[in-house]
Amino acid sequence: MTLSKLAQSYIEKTEQVIRLIKQRGNLKERKTEEVLDQARRYLKDAIYFLNEKKFETALASVSYSEGLLDALRLLGLVEFQWPSERV
């Protein structure tokens, strides 16, 4: 898989998760939303870099977004599953 296709695949999966993510009721909802907002910003950056054909930077940006989402999930603040990829 080329770097551009890999970045595109990660971006699509992250977009899907952000659309479907469920926040759990928690006293830290404001902080959770701040982290989700940052994940959205990294995703937006990834899309920009993909369009600019800066594939390495796009992949790095979407990876930051995924990391924030995974951290929220591991802390029990959100619920989601990553879409599976068929090879």
Q: What is the pLDDT of residues 3-49, one digit of tens each?
A: 999 999 999 999 999 998 876 665 567 888 899 999 999 999 999 99
Q: What is the mean pLDDT of residues 65-86?
A: 90
Neighbouring CB atoms inside 10 A of 73's CB total 17
Q: Tell me the C-alpha distance between 14 and 5, whole Å.
A: 14
pTM: 0.88
* Per-residue pLDDT at 53: 97
Which CATH number describes the domain made up of 3-78?
Answer: 1.20.1270.90
